[in-house]
Structure 1
Amino acid sequence: MNDIYTFIKLLEEYKIVIPVMQRSYAEGRNTKHAEDVRKSIIETIISSALQNKPLFFDFVYGNISQDEKKFIPFDGQQRLTTLFLFHRYVYEKAKEPLDILKKFSYETRPSAKEFLEKICINTIIPSNKENIIPFNEETLSKFVINQNWFFDDWKKDPTISSILTVLDEIHNQFLKLQSPDYSKIMSLLKDTELISFHFVNMQLNQLPNNTYVKMNARGKTLTGFENFKASLEEYLKKSDNSLYRTFRNNIDSKWLDLMFSKTKPCLPDSLFMSFFNRHFINVWNFYKKNEPSIEEKSIYDKVNSDLVAFPLIDTFISWSVYEKILNTAAIKNTIHPIFNLLTTLVNNSIEKQIKPYQTWDFYGCDKNDTYPARVTFFALLLYFEEDNYQKTSFSHWMRVVFNIIENQTIDSMDSYLYALRFFSELGVHSHDIYTFLADDSKGINSGFAKEQVSEERLKAKKILESGKWEKAIILAEHYEILLGKVNVLFQAGEKTSLEVFNTRFNLLKAMYKNNDPYHIIKVLLSYYDEAIPNGKISLKHTKENIKQLVTKTFFNEFQKITSDKINTSITQKWIKELSTTTLLNISRSDGQIVGKYGKKVVLWGTTGCVWKVFGNDVRGNILLGEEKRNLLLKSLKLPNAYFTTDYSSKDYIFYSGWETYFKYDNCFFSWWPDDDKKIYDVYIMTDDWGDYKKRKKVLMNKTNTDADEYFAFNTTDEMIKHPELFAEALKNLISESNKA
């Protein structure tokens, strides 16, 4: 049996018994989502009745017990219960006998069964004329609970509580109407197919035994998918008969099996909804008008709030939102690609072609999509606008898509929309992307990801030359610190030979795979030759940052490198300190940024370092290139306690900060590095480094230096050769200070 039925027609032929193994009635649950669904369903049913507009309630599956003429639903029990309650309310209002409704029952709990029996022989709707309860407290549930036949224990039954909640919703919505014609509504329910559904006898249709498991699993969490599915079916029935047949023939069979087979914590309904929502978000944002109307603005807000929040926040979304998207973007851009994708997924394991590049969850329903994930799905479905899946062309397209998205920042609505427009233009060539990219005469209007597109053009030319090139390029693209961006391996650009490409790749791997995790950074730095870095350079040891260093920051430096060894001809002191010591290894991982401070080079993010800037403590910084200071202070062989900001690498001692405090011969000193000739290197200070110790007042003039005002001296290069001269200068300064 597979036919169109109404609720009354089904009751005329069978008893309807909700079996013991079914979950409790969910549409009356006390959750925000259930409330949204409940209100929408009741509003839709009432609107259908008042306007005499047919409403389709999808499929109802179950088994028939012929000896007892009993129908046991396996899927659709929620909708059947809601229909029962609506009929029950209208029948009493129309003063129609309730006998036929007694054929609907629950076996989940004895209390639920008894309650349904009671409401089919007793009044459940309060009447103000009889002053049963005050008007301002009028709720159907309160009235029922106060009846003599209602047992207090029934309040604990979740099914009964849910039934009362839905009856309240029906009652409250009818109260808002002006004198609805209940007799007319009742006649429509009895004599027409006002509200209908497909009735499927699973035994007769020989559906497999595990269908029940699948059907019931879909209902463990209440979603809006069934309502979406029914509305979409009606929409397609009117709009595209071919897609309508495809949908009906697959949604509850092959496509359901596909979703159910995924080892995910999500239910099939959530997976389906994730697919549709993800694509609808994209097509709406792509096809919407630049200057939307008030209605379109409302749809925009819904799409970029409720649809985007799904599945973490499962808010009920009205069909009107989806209908507006379909009408705006057209079926060929919305439904057609989704159906082609689902059909392809049933027949082909395309996930294997996606997995090498995958940075998102293809069947994701446990987190919200990022902008890059949305763009990826948009680009994927551009391929399926044509019903012509081929493994090779699809692999080529997705490789290019992932390379571009992986190497382009998409972190805002503007960049997201820019990316959609770009891929829409490129997607026209999705079934032969290499040929298009390799042809320099074929331009791309969009300026999105210009640098990466240029690289993809170069690689397409090489790949079309030979399979060896394709293998080498894809191998390099998958390397963990390149991920699609291999421009640095084309040493001679388009003229680069395959041998050179492979040699450069092997060199890069040798630099990266070293016992010292910072080795590759040190090698790259050792070929850098700037007295002051051009802006800040991050030296963090993360795959993402190393990729940035190799492919952008030190791109030119890598081209000079022929060995995985650190360059020994370093001219800049600050570069030598970073490249030849373990300073980077013991720096804080949340720092490790080198940059300029005035005319000095500073490494931010070094454990244990504190220095003063305008009187404020700045933690974790080392002044680089101060070799003379570090060597002379080290020559004193003072314990760590005698330095307020000492910082030791295993092969070098750094005295960090702009101003370094140290204690010698029980006196307090400061080393102040500055290129100003009037400012000296070493100053004697008051106890505990309270202030600089001043000489007696002198008349200051333009020729004065700090040595005229403070007890200070400058160091010399000779002191590096003979450190005892530095110690002697300190003692002389102490003696001079004591005599003052």
Structure 2
Amino acid sequence: MGATLQSFISIFNTNHEVDGEIVQLKNITIPLIQRDYAQGRQDSEVQRVRKRFLDSLHRAIVEKPITLDFIYGDVDGNGVMTPLDGQQRLTTLFLLHWYAAKREGIVTNEYSFLKKFSYETRYSARDFCGYLVDFTPSFEQKPSEEIINQSWFPLDWKKDPTISAMLVMSDAISEVFGGVQNIWERLNDNAISFYFLPVKDMGLTDELYIKMNSRGKPLTPFEHFKAEFEHNLKIIDKDVAKRIIKKIDLDWTDMLWRYRGDDNIIDDEFLRYYKFVCDVICYENGDSPQGKSSDEFDLMKQYFSKSNENAMKNIETFEKYFDCWCNLDEVESPESFFVSFLSHVHENDKIRIENRYAIDIMEDCLRNYGIFSGKNRQFPLNRIVLLYAMICYLLNRDKIDKHDFTRRIRIINNLIQNSEDEISDSELRSSGNRMPAILKQVDYIIMSGVIDDSIDKNFNINQLAEEKEKQKWLIYNQDKETLLFELEDHFLLEGQIGIVGLENFDYFQRFKSLFECDWDLIDCALMSIGNYSQREQNNWRYQLGSKRNLNAWRNLFHKSSNAGFSDTKRILADLLSRADVFTNDVLEKVIHDFISDCEKNNIFEWRYYYVKYDIFRPGSYGKYYWRDFTSNPYVMSVMKTNSQISQNSYNPFLKVADEKNLSKEDWGERIIFKDNYIVCTNSAFEIRKQITDEEISRIVINQNASGIDVEDRIIKLKKYLQSFA
């Protein structure tokens, strides 16, 4: 029987298999070898622990239910459960249930199960528990004061460390829960629960304690896991069990030892990598861990017990995934292995990964796998895919040439970096669970060096197509491989070079040179050549570059559902064609020539204003709002967020003319002018009454037959406003 979710109430009378018989759990007895109840001690550290624990229980009662850590215990043939770990929590729960029952006047038969909880440590502690259940305080004093004054309470009991600690805890519970109503009802609704795991077939309880820890300390969770794991493996194959447990104790511990934490043990690190392997097995079976338990015991039952027909295959995978790190060359460590293939900057024969990610993916996995920060994984899916790829190579190192692997891992890294939306294991996302297909594709690329077109819905379809094109191109352009890889590693491209294009090989180095210049000048130079914006799917939000935000450029340079990618590429190519090496002076000349031509010919399309007036380019997300770009290009808003119009948004024509009187309350689309306001339309500035919105005047902008300004509308508005100054 595996772990089951229980409450302090429900655990009594649960059924358990003991020596082939079904036995009801009737009593909980703290054994002689257990230490005294400690959560009621008075030292400062215990006080902090007690406060945190009671605060957690309080939140569970008044707000959101809580599930405590595992409680392990041995159930004998008489139905007596002896806790191996969890005595402290069980005793506190006993006292909380006693307090709730007595303070709320619960009928005796509802809390009579409390009589089934006792201590074997000393007769005094055992008797105290019994007397306590029968006693009902008035709660006019501290519970401890009333208890001590009872005739059944001998004074020497105050010297019993367990009893004195229970008295302290009863007072603390009364203080924390004194104003809380309906505690008993919430306890009955499982507001506080825990997982109970019976430990079977491991000998007598005292012998088990002494066997696992010569000082008689409780077993650690990892020791429980290892014992249960060995038990499961023995059922499947005793020789395999012996071999793997030996590796856990020796080879794998030695391998993981360099990664030990501050506690100087590798228990947590082992279990995190174990969970990674279990998730890989899950994906390889076409499934997803989403919505399933990540508890190591549940995973053991799911993948490594006799109930799974593929248990032996899963055990082999588990063993291989640990062994591969032990089979590195003598001079090689996991860290040096990753350093030989990964870098934070462009290097020959290495792939470039983002600075936010550690080079040693193994250490990252051991530290962070399965840990969440809010809804975000600290070891995200893209890292799982990359680690899986590296392990695929390690498992087949004798079959894959190192140079071939460097090319193959580059393809995979390019695919990972450009498949953010596709790398998903949740059916709730539009992409669905693609991890099984993605890992299958990774395996195929690592082993063969080519992309398998028969695998449905894996990485981003555009990037898959580009990688195949690059492979074909390199057959005839091997001498250009280094320059291609350098372009791929540019921090704005991250593996996708379609914005430059294989057909524009001469521009590979120029792109790097261009983006070493001032980004605001690049933005203006591109706009001087043409409208390089891209329209997003909502049809009103547009993406342009930014003087400070690299994601604005990445959005433009990575092909997506946005409309206008081909125009962006064409205009970028035009700019790249104008110099072999770019400087700010080169860009300033492009900009100057554009502005001069506009002013000379009296042609002031919206691009002119964008380039001339820096208020159009605040350096935020590069996002702009047009209600109807085709018909009304002059009616626009500069957005200060990535996705929404806000009070910080503004019409740039109005802001340039009179920033002081621009109204934030109206989304920056009005200049407040005496009792009136001014708005910008495509062919005029309208002056309207604030109260009635009635138009009282307009400043008409002269335009040609194409609807393009033939006079600078900003200068005209400024003159109008100055006339009232």
Same fold, TM-score > 0.5, yes or no: yes
- Over 3 Å counting, the alpha-carbon distance change for 1:590 and 1:685 in structure 2 is same
Aligned partners of 1:231, 1:161: CA distance in 2, in Å? 36
Secondary structure of the corresponding residue to residue 482 of structure 2: helix
Matching of residue 576 in structure 1 with residue 632 in structure 2: no
5 Å-filtered alignment, 1:475-486, equals 475-486=486-497
Contact 1:477 1:486 in 2 (8 A): yes
Secondary structure of the corresponding residue to residue 544 of structure 1: helix
Matching of residue 432 in structure 1 with residue 447 in structure 2: yes
5 Å-filtered alignment, 1:242-641, equals 244-262=241-259, 268-284=266-282, 287=285, 301-303=291-293, 307=294, 317=295, 319-326=297-304, 330-331=310-311, 334-346=314-326, 347=328, 348-349=333-334, 350-352=337-339, 353-354=341-342, 356-357=352-353, 360=357, 361-365=364-368, 367=372, 370=377, 373-374=380-381, 376-377=383-384, 380-381=387-388, 384=391, 387-389=395-397, 395-408=406-419, 409=421, 410=423, 413-414=426-427, 417-434=432-449, 436-437=450-451, 443-448=453-458, 449-462=460-473, 469-492=480-503, 501=505, 503-515=506-518, 517-529=519-531, 535=539, 536-539=541-544, 541=546, 542-552=549-559, 553=565, 554-561=568-575, 562-563=577-578, 564=582, 565=587, 566=590, 568=593, 573-586=605-618, 589=620, 592-597=623-628, 599-601=631-633, 602-605=635-638, 619-622=648-651
Greater Rg, structure 1 or structure 2? 1
Query: What per-residue deviation string (whole Å, max 9, x for no partner) do you get for residues 588-631 of structure 1?
Result: x25742534463235534689xxxxxxx996422256xxxx99x
Contact 2:425 2:434 in 1 (8 A): no
Please tell me the residue identity of whatever aligns with 2:650: N
Please tell me the residue identity of whatever aligns with 2:253: L
Aligned partners of 1:551, 1:281: CA distance in 2, in Å? 30
Aligned partners of 1:389, 1:572: CA distance in 2, in Å? 63
Please tell me the residue identity of whatever aligns with 2:271: M
Secondary structure of the corresponding residue to residue 545 of structure 1: helix
Matching of residue 134 in structure 1 with residue 134 in structure 2: yes
Aligned partners of 1:427, 1:583: CA distance in 2, in Å? 47
After TM superposition, the structure 1 stretch with the greater mean CA deviation from structure 2, 409-418 or 474-483, is: 409-418
Contact 2:685 2:698 in 1 (8 A): yes
Aligned partners of 1:159, 1:470: CA distance in 2, in Å? 73
Aligned partners of 2:453, 2:299: CA distance in 1, in Å? 37
Report the identity percentage.
12
Aligned partners of 1:597, 1:342: CA distance in 2, in Å? 59
Aligned residues: 520
Q: Give 1:491 shift.
A: 3.5
Secondary structure of the corresponding residue to residue 364 of structure 1: helix
What residue number does 2:224 align with?
A: 227
Contact 1:340 1:387 in 2 (8 A): yes
Contact 1:237 1:244 in 2 (8 A): yes
Please tell me the residue identity of whatever aligns with 1:324: Q
Aligned partners of 1:426, 1:509: CA distance in 2, in Å? 31
Secondary structure of the corresponding residue to residue 479 of structure 1: coil
Q: Give 1:529 shift.
A: 4.2
Q: Give 1:324 shift.
A: 1.7
Secondary structure of the corresponding residue to residue 604 of structure 1: strand
Q: Give 1:543 shift.
A: 2.4
Please tell me the residue identity of whatever aligns with 2:454: I
* CA RMSD, Structure 1 to Structure 2 (Å): 5.9
Aligned partners of 1:274, 1:480: CA distance in 2, in Å? 31
What residue number does 2:17 align with?
A: none
Matching of residue 239 in structure 1 with residue 231 in structure 2: no
Query: What per-residue deviation string (whole Å, max 9, x for no partner) do you get for residues 65-84 of structure 1?
Result: xxxxxxxxxxxxx96998xx
Aligned partners of 1:249, 1:51: CA distance in 2, in Å? 34
Aligned partners of 2:510, 2:250: CA distance in 1, in Å? 53
Aligned partners of 2:244, 2:574: CA distance in 1, in Å? 59
Please tell me the residue identity of whatever aligns with 1:429: Y
Q: Give 1:546 shift.
A: 0.8
Please tell me the residue identity of whatever aligns with 1:595: W
- Over 3 Å counting, the alpha-carbon distance change for 1:468 and 1:712 in structure 2 is closer
Q: Give 1:272 shift.
A: 1.9
Aligned partners of 2:614, 2:652: CA distance in 1, in Å? 15
Q: Give 1:198 shift.
A: 10
Secondary structure of the corresponding residue to residue 583 of structure 1: helix
| Structure 1 gaps, min length 5 | 1-15, 56-77, 86-117, 163-187, 203-211, 291-298, 308-316, 493-499, 609-615, 647-655, 676-680, 694-709, 735-740
Q: Give 1:413 shift.
A: 1.1
Q: Give 1:645 shift.
A: 6.6
TM-score normalised by structure 1 residue count: 0.54
Aligned partners of 2:663, 2:481: CA distance in 1, in Å? 54
TM-score normalised by structure 2 residue count: 0.55
Query: What per-residue deviation string (whole Å, max 9, x for no partner) do you get for residues 439-469 of structure 1?
Result: xxx5333133211111222333455667755
- Over 3 Å counting, the alpha-carbon distance change for 1:354 and 1:224 in structure 2 is farther
Q: Give 1:397 shift.
A: 4.7
Secondary structure of the corresponding residue to residue 525 of structure 1: helix
Secondary structure of the corresponding residue to residue 259 of structure 2: coil
Aligned partners of 1:396, 1:275: CA distance in 2, in Å? 27
Aligned partners of 2:135, 2:252: CA distance in 1, in Å? 51
- Over 3 Å counting, the alpha-carbon distance change for 1:527 and 1:591 in structure 2 is closer
Please tell me the residue identity of whatever aligns with 1:251: I
What residue number does 1:177 align with?
A: none
Query: What per-residue deviation string (whole Å, max 9, x for no partner) do you get for residues 23-56 of structure 1?
Result: 99x99x87789984453x11xx216x6799xx9x
Query: What per-residue deviation string (whole Å, max 9, x for no partner) do you get for residues 215-273 of structure 1?
Result: x9xx9xx9743322222222223335665345323323343344342376686322222
Contact 2:125 2:162 in 1 (8 A): no
Aligned partners of 2:242, 2:386: CA distance in 1, in Å? 26
Query: What per-residue deviation string (whole Å, max 9, x for no partner) do you get for residues 10-35 of structure 1?
Result: xxxxxx999xxxx99x99x8778998
Aligned partners of 1:550, 1:623: CA distance in 2, in Å? 25
Contact 1:533 1:596 in 2 (8 A): no
Please tell me the residue identity of whatever aligns with 2:569: F
Aligned partners of 2:168, 2:255: CA distance in 1, in Å? 36
Contact 2:474 2:480 in 1 (8 A): yes
- Over 3 Å counting, the alpha-carbon distance change for 1:711 and 1:529 in structure 2 is closer
Q: Give 1:407 shift.
A: 0.8
Aligned partners of 1:577, 1:715: CA distance in 2, in Å? 14
